[in-house]
Structure 1
Amino acid sequence: MEMASIVDYVNQNGQYSFSERPFNDVDGTILAQLAYVDFSLLNKKHIHKLAQLTPELIQKSTVHTWNPAGNQALLKAAQLSQRFGQLKWDNYAQKIDPKLEQQFSAITFTIAPDTYYIAYRGTTATLVDWKEDFNMTFMDAVPSQRAATHYFQKQSLKQPGYYYLGGHSKGGNLAFYAAAHSQTQAIKGVYSIDGPGLKKPLPEELQTRAHKLIPDASIIGLLLEPETNYTVVKSDGQGIRQHDPYTWLVKNNHFEVIASVSRFSQFTQASISTWLAGMDDATKQEFLDSVFALVSADGEKHFSELGKEWPQTLQMIAAGIAATDDQTRRHWLDITGQLGDVVTHQARKLLKKEFDHYKNIFPDK
C-alpha cells in the first residue's frame, strides 16, 4: 500500500468504529490535531459533533491555525466517517493571560462509553504562547501545565472512566505533565505528538502507556527530553515542516517508522541542551525576558508575522541590543557567544565522528 497522510487514513479507515479497529497512534495524533479547532465558535453554534459541521464552520473554525488547508481537509474527511463523525465533545476550556504568560486550551472527546480523549492545544502563533513555551526551560511548572493537570483531575471526577491524554507540540508536553502529576489508574494512554520533554523521565508506572511520536528531523520534540523512549515517524516534509503531522506518512493503520532521528536533529538537540545546561535559571529567565521585550516592543504580534518579516525582526533586535546599557549589551554578547561556542564544538565532534566512521570503512593500506 502507498504511503498516505492522516487525512488519507481517515478516508481509508473511516468506516470502522473503534470497537472494530482499536484506537491507535494515528487516532491519537488526529485527535491531538483537532485541539487547534476553534471550539468556542462551534459551541456558540451549538455544534458538538463533527458530523454537524457545515463548510462555512469548517473554514471559520480553522482560519487562524498554522495549517488551515490541512485542518479543513481533516475535518471534511472526519465528519463523513463513522469513526470520527459521531464523536462528541464537551468541557471546552480556554485561558489567555498575558500577565501570567499563559495560553491554555483543552477539549474532551467521548470515543466510547466511559472512554474519553482529552486533547490539549499546542503552541499557536501568539507571542504569549511562545513565551510560555520558552519559560519551560527554567520554571518548575508553567501555568498551562498546572491548568492541564487541574483540567484532567476535574474532568475525571466529573465523568469517571478511562482517559487518553494527548496533544501536539506544547499540547503533548501538557498531556505528559498532567499524567505524571495525577493518579494514573484512569489513564489508558498518553500521547505527545512532537512535544518537548519534561526535563525528567516519566514515572515508571506510566511509561508503558506513554506514546511519544517525533519525525526524523525533530527539533521541538527533542527539547528538554532526557529519554530516548520515542517512536520516530517518517515524514515527507523538510526541516521544521516535519513538525506538522500532515507531513507524517501512514501505512495501513499505523505510521511508517524509522530507526532514529537524523544527524542534524541529534546535532541540534546536543547543541541546545549543552547551551541550556551552561546557564542557571535566573540567566535563562533574564535572557528570554529581554528577547521577548525587544520582539514585542512595537506591540503584540503573531510569530507567523515575525517569520514573514524575519530580516526586519533581526534588525529590530540588533537595534534594541545596541540601544541598551553596556552591562546588558555585554550580557547578550556573552550568552549568544556561548551558543556559538557550543555549536562550533558540537560541529567538530560531528565531523570527527564522520571522519572516524569513514576511516574504519576505508582503512589506510
Structure 2
Amino acid sequence: MAGNLIDYVKWRGDLGFTERPFNDVDALVLATLSYIDLVGFTQNEASGGTVEVREALGELMERSGGDVAPYVRSLATIDARYIDAVAKSRRFGRLHIGRYVDVMEYDNAVQFAAVEVMLPPNSVEGCGKGVRFVSFRGTDLTIAGWREDFMLSFEVTGAQKLAAEYLDRALRAAVAAGEPLMAGGHS
C-alpha cells in the first residue's frame, strides 16, 4: 500500500533535519505550504520577519474551526488532517516561514504566491549553514489561473515576471545572509 504526505509527516515528523537530512519528500511538503492562503498567518515580504510553521498553521486551524477548504488553493489533498500533522510535527512545525506574497489580479490574469521557509543549519546534507527554501504556488483553479495557463503557451505572463522578481530578491537576501537558497513548488 502506497503512503501519502500525511503518512510521511507522521512517520518522519518526530525527527529533526539533523537526524535525517532534507530530502525530496520534504521539498514536496514545503511546496504544499505555498498552496495554503497564509495571509494574516505569517509575515508578508514587505514587513519582513518570520513565524514558526506550527504557529501560522495552528492559528489557521483555530480561525477556520477545522474547515480549511477556503484556505486551500489547490486540487491536491490538503485538508485539516494534513495541516494539523505538519503544524504539530517536530520536523516541519519548528521551521520558520516568511516573505509571503499572494497576488490575485483577475483582470490581468495574474495569480502568484510564494513563501520562504528557513531550514536550520545542517538540514541539508553537506551544508553546515541554514538554507532558505522558496516555495512557489502554481496556477490554481480560479478563472485567472485558467486564463494564465492558456497564456503560458504564447507569452511571458505577469506571474512569471513576479516569480523572477521574487526569486531575485530572495537570492539577494540569501547572499547577504551568507546562506544558500533552494526553490521548489510548481510552475
Retained in 1: the 8 A contact 2:67–2:80?
Answer: no
Retained in 2: the 8 A contact 1:107–1:118?
Answer: yes
Residue identity (%): 27
What letter corresponds to residue 164 of structure 1 in structure 2?
M
Retained in 2: the 8 A contact 1:117–1:164?
Answer: yes
Instruction: Summarize the Cα distance change of 1:62–1:50 in structure 2 as closer, same or farther, 3 Å threshold.
Output: farther
Aligned-CA RMSD value? 2.3
The 2-side partners of 1:67 and 1:95 are apart by 19
Residue deviations 1:199-242, cap 9 Å, x none? xxxxxxxxxxxxxxxxxxxxxxxxxxxxxxxxxxxxxxxxxxxx
What residue is the counterpart of 2:169 in the other structure? 154
The 2-side partners of 1:159 and 1:137 are apart by 32
| Larger radius of gyration between Structure 1 and Structure 2 | 1
CA apart distance, 1:50: 2.4
Count of residues in Structure 1 that have an aligned counterpart in Structure 2: 166
The 2-side partners of 1:132 and 1:70 are apart by 23
TM-score, normalised to structure 2's length?
A: 0.79
Retained in 1: the 8 A contact 2:132–2:180?
Answer: yes
Residue deviations 1:159-205, cap 9 Å, x none? 322122111xxxx22xxxxxxxxxxxxxxxxxxxxxxxxxxxxxxxx
1:56 to 62, 67, 71: 62
Retained in 2: the 8 A contact 1:104–1:147?
Answer: yes
Structure 2's unaligned 5+ residue stretches are 44-48, 122-129
Q: What pairs up with 1:216-295 in 2 under 5 angstroms? A: none
Q: What pairs up with 1:83-162 in 2 under 5 angstroms? A: 83-113=91-121, 114-139=130-155, 141-160=156-175, 161-162=179-180
The 1-side partners of 2:116 and 2:50 are apart by 14
What letter corresponds to residue 12 of structure 1 in structure 2?
W
What residue is the counterpart of 1:78 in the other structure? 86
Instruction: Summarize the Cα distance change of 1:69–1:100 in structure 2 as closer, same or farther, 3 Å threshold.
Output: closer
RCO comparison, higher one (Cα < 8 Å, 6+)? 2
What letter corresponds to residue 101 of structure 1 in structure 2?
A
Instruction: Summarize the Cα distance change of 1:69–1:136 in structure 2 as closer, same or farther, 3 Å threshold.
Output: closer
* SS, match of residue 70 in structure 2: coil
1:165 aligns with 2:165: no
The 2-side partners of 1:88 and 1:24 are apart by 18
Structure 1's unaligned 5+ residue stretches are 174-365
What residue is the counterpart of 1:189 in the other structure? none
* SS, match of residue 145 in structure 1: helix
Retained in 1: the 8 A contact 2:33–2:115?
Answer: no
CA apart distance, 1:47: 8.4
* SS, match of residue 120 in structure 1: strand
Residue deviations 1:95-119, cap 9 Å, x none? 2223322111110010124301111
Which one has the bigger helix percentage? 1
The 2-side partners of 1:40 and 1:28 are apart by 22
The 2-side partners of 1:143 and 1:96 are apart by 11
What residue is the counterpart of 1:313 in the other structure? none
TM-score, normalised to structure 1's length?
A: 0.42
What letter corresponds to residue 123 of structure 1 in structure 2?
T
The 2-side partners of 1:34 and 1:57 are apart by 17
